[in-house]
Amino acid sequence: MNELFLITPIFLPIILGAILFFIPFKNQKQRNAYVITSLILSSVAVWLSAFLVPDNSLTILHFTNELTLSLRLDGAGKIFSCLSATLWPITAIYAFDYMKHEEHHQMFYCFFVMAFGTTMGIAMAENILTMYLFYEMLTLTTIPLVAHGMTMKHNRAARKYMIYSIGGAAFAFAGVVFLIVNGAGTFRLGGNLVTVDNETLALVLYFFAFMGFGVKSAIFPLHGWLPTASVAPTPVTALLHAVAVVKAGAFALIRLTYYAYGTEFLYGSWAHYVVMAFSIFTIVYGSVTALRQKHFKRRLAYSTISNLSYIGFATTLMTPAGLVAAFCHLVFHSVIKIGAFFAAGSVLHNSEREFVPQLEGIGKKMPWTFGFFTVFALALTGIPPFCGFFSKWYIATAAFATDNPLATVGVIALLISALLTAIYMLSPAVKAFFPRENAEIHLDEIKEAKPAMLIPMGICVLLCIVLGLFVRIPVEIIGEVLGI
C-alpha cells in the first residue's frame, strides 16, 4: 500500500461528516448506524495506514513552492492517530445513549465525525505548516461541539475556547514561520535546526510557540478555556478535552520540541528552563484548583490541566527517555481520563447531579459506574498496578536521569499533585459508597446507567488494568516506533 492512502483517514471522515449533515435520516437508529460505520471505517483506515503504509512523505498540494501541505505517518504520528482512532468509536457508542436528551444531533454528529479527520491531520502532518493548518481546522471543527447547548453559557464557553485556541496559534505562528524560514519546517526526530544567526530570537520564538501550542494543552496562564468548555455535552468533554484536542496540543509541543527545534539546540538554554518551570507550576496549580472545585466535571477538567502538564514536563526534559515518558502518559492519561469523564457523564445523565456533594450515597444506586470511577481514580492517582503509576514512574526516572535540579523539583511537584489527585478523585468515590449516616439523600428516581454507557467505561477500565499489568508491551512499542 503506498503513501497515497494517507489521504483516506483524514478526508474520509471529513467528507462523511459533511455528507451526514445533508442526509435526512428517518430516525436515530439510522443516523447512529451511519455515524458508527463511518467512524469505524475511518479507524480501520487509520490502523491500516499505521501498519501498512511506508514511512514516506506525500505532498498533497503546494501553497507556494516552499510551503507544501504534505503528510507522513511516522512513529509519533502512529501512536497519536491510533490512540484517537481507538477511542473515537468508543465515545460514539457512549454518545448515542447520552445525546438522546440533547437537540439538533445532525450538526453535532457532523462535526463529531469531521473532528476525527482533522485530528488525524495533526497526527499525520509532515511539516509544521501542515500541522498548523490542521490545528486551526481542529479548533474550528470543535467549536460547534462546545457551543452545542446553544445557551448563552455555551456560547461564551465556545467563544473563550476559540479566542484562546486561535490566539495561541497566532503566537505559535511566529515560531512556525521562523522554523520554515530556517528550513526546519519538516519534522525529523532531533530537529532540523542546524545554525541560526540570531539565537535569542530563535529561543524567544520557541517560547512563544511553546506557550501558543500550550494553549490547547492548557499550560498555566492560558488554561482558562478548558474548565469553561466543560459545559459541553460529556462525550465532547470526554473525547476532546481529555483526548483529541488537548492531546493534540501536547502532541504539537512534542513535535515542536523534539522534531522541529531539536533538543540539542534547546537543551540547557534559558527557554528550556522557563518552559519546564511553567509546566511544573501548572502541575501543582491544576491539582490544587481541582481540589477546590465542587462541580464534578470542572474538577475533572482541572485534573486534566494538571495531567497535561505531566506530559509537558516530560517533554521539557528533552531526553529520549523523556519523550517515551511523555507518550506513555499521553496514552495512559487519555484512557483513564476519558473513562472518568464517561463516569461523570453517566452520573449527570442518569441523576442530573453535577456537584460532588450531591453524590452522597449514589454509589448504592449506580454501583458499576462508581466502581469504574474508583478504578479510574486509583489509576489517575498512580496506584500500581493500574497504568497511571507507570507513566509517573517513567517520567520520574527520566527526570532523575537528567540530574537537573529543576527536574527533581518537577518530580516532587508530580508527587504532591498525585496526593492531591488522590484527595479530589477518591473523595467522590468515598462519598458515593459511604454516605454519612445522617445525610439526607433522595436516590429514589436514580437508575444505573444503560449498558451503552457502561460498556465504553468497562473497556476503559480493562485498558487501564491491562496496560498496567503488561505495561512492558506498550512501552516497548512506543520506544520502537519512536525509533529510540
Partner 1 sequence: MEFIKNFPFITIVLSLFCSVICYAFKDKKARFVTYFLLIISSCMSFSVIMYNLFSETGYFAYRMGHYDAPIGNEISAGLLEPFFALLFEIVIFLSITGGYKRLQKDVEESKQRFFYIMINLTHAALMSLCYTNDIYTAYVFIEICTIASCALLMSSKRTRSLVAATRYTIFSLIGSSLVLIGIVLLYSVTGHLLFPNIFETIQALWATGEYTNPLTIALGLIISGLAIKSGMFPFHWWMPDTYGTATPCASGILSGVVSKGYIFLLLKMIYRVIGPQIFLESGINNILLVFGVCGMIVGSVSAIRTSNITFMTAYSSAAQIGYIYMGIGLGTKEALLAALFQIVAHSLTKPMLFLAAGGLSDTVGGKQDFDSLRSSAHYNKPSGIAFAAGALSMVGIPIFAGFVPKMLFSISAFGHGFKTYIVLLALAISTILNVIYFLRTLVNIYSPAIVDIPREKIHFSKIKVFTVVVIVMAIVNLTVGLHSQPIISLFEKGIEIFINIR
Partner 2 sequence: MFNMVSSIVAPFICGILMLFAKKINDRKTKVAFAVVMQSIITIFGLLTVFGDEVSTKSFVFIDNLTVGFTADLVAKFFCAIIVIAWLLVTIYAGVYMKHEKNEERFFLFSFLTEGAMLGAAFSDSLVSMYVFYELVTLLSMPLVLHSLTKESVGAAKKYLYYSIAGAFMALFGVFVVGTSAENLGFVAGGTFENVTPLVLTAVFVMCLGFGAKAGLFPLHGWLPTAHPVAPAPASALLSGVIAKAGVLAIIRTVFYTVGAKNIMGTWVQIALLVLSLLTVLMGSMMAYREKIFKKRLAFSTVSQISYVFCGLFLFNEAGMDGALWQIIFHAIVKVGLFLCAGAVIFLYGKTKVEELNGIGKKMPVTFTCFTALSLSLIGIPPMGGFFSKWELATASLDTTAIGALGWIIPVVLLVSALLTAGYLLDISIRAFFRDADDDTTKVKESKAMCVVLVILAVASLLGGIFATHTGNMISSIVSALF
Interatomic CA distance for residues 306 and 345, integer angstroms = 20
Which does residue 475 touch among partner 1, partner 2, none (CB within 5 to 8 A, set by kind)? partner 2
Measure Cα distances from 60 to 4, 5, 71, 200 in Å: 9, 12, 7, 34
Return the range that interacts with partner 2 (CB under 8 A); candidates 141-149, 174-182, 396-404, 455-463. Answer: 396-404
Which does residue 259 touch among partner 1, partner 2, none (CB within 5 to 8 A, set by kind)? none
Closest approach of partner 2 to the CB of residue 278, in Å: 22
Interatomic CA distance for residues 166 and 54, integer angstroms = 33
Closest CB to partner 1 among 178 and 187?
178
Cell of 35: 455515524
3-state secondary structure of 60: strand
Q: Does 63 bind partner 1 (CB under 8 A)?
A: yes
Among 180, 280, 413, 414, binds partner 1 (CB under 8 A): 180
Interatomic CA distance for residues 73 and 54, integer angstroms = 8
Measure Cα distances from 89 to 155, 165, 235, 270, 344 in Å: 27, 25, 11, 43, 19
Interatomic CA distance for residues 51 and 73, integer angstroms = 10
Q: Does 484 bind partner 2 (CB under 8 A)?
A: no
Taking residue 263's Cβ as centre, other Cβ atoms within 10 Å add up to 22
Which does residue 1 touch among partner 2, partner 1, none (CB within 5 to 8 A, set by kind)? none
Among 15, 41, 44, 204, binds partner 1 (CB under 8 A): 204
Say which amino acid occupies 265. F
Contact 248, 138 (CB under 8 A): yes
Return the range that interacts with partner 1 (CB under 8 A); candidates 12-20, 73-81, 83-91, 162-170. Answer: 162-170
Say how many residues touch partner 2, by CB under 8 A.
34
Contact 448, 367 (CB under 8 A): yes
Closest CB to partner 1 among 94 and 210?
210
Convert residues 413-452 into a mask of x (bound to partner 2 by CB under 8 A) and - (unbound). --xx-xx--xx--xx--x---xxxxx--------------
Taking residue 423's Cβ as centre, other Cβ atoms within 10 Å add up to 12
Among 218, 226, 325, 475, binds partner 2 (CB under 8 A): 475
Which does residue 340 touch among partner 1, partner 2, none (CB within 5 to 8 A, set by kind)? none
Q: Does 171 bind partner 1 (CB under 8 A)?
A: yes
Contact 276, 313 (CB under 8 A): yes
Contact 468, 390 (CB under 8 A): yes
Interatomic CA distance for residues 391 and 326, integer angstroms = 8
Interatomic CA distance for residues 114 and 120, integer angstroms = 10
- Map the footprint of partner 1 across residues 121-160, applying CB under 8 A: 129, 132-133, 136-137, 140, 143, 147, 150, 152, 155, 158-159
Closest approach of partner 1 to the CB of residue 166, in Å: 5
Say how many residues touch partner 1, by CB under 8 A.
35
Closest approach of partner 1 to the CB of residue 57, in Å: 19
Closest approach of partner 1 to the CB of residue 32, in Å: 25
Among 67, 401, 443, 466, binds partner 1 (CB under 8 A): 67
Interatomic CA distance for residues 54 and 385, integer angstroms = 36
3-state secondary structure of 272: helix
Closest CB to partner 2 among 7 and 465?
465
Measure Cα distances from 18 to 42, 115, 188, 418, 435 in Å: 14, 11, 33, 42, 48
Interatomic CA distance for residues 242 and 237, integer angstroms = 7
Among 228, 293, 381, 391, binds partner 2 (CB under 8 A): 381
Closest CB to partner 2 among 40 and 441?
441
Return the CA Rg of the chain: 21
Q: Which residues bind partner 1 (CB under 8 A)?
A: 61-65, 67, 129, 132-133, 136-137, 140, 143, 147, 150, 152, 155, 158-159, 162-163, 166-167, 170-171, 173-174, 177-178, 180-181, 201, 204-205, 208
Q: Which residues bind partner 2 (CB under 8 A)?
A: 378, 381-385, 390, 393, 396-397, 400-401, 408, 411-412, 415-416, 418-419, 422-423, 426-427, 430, 434-438, 468-469, 471-472, 475
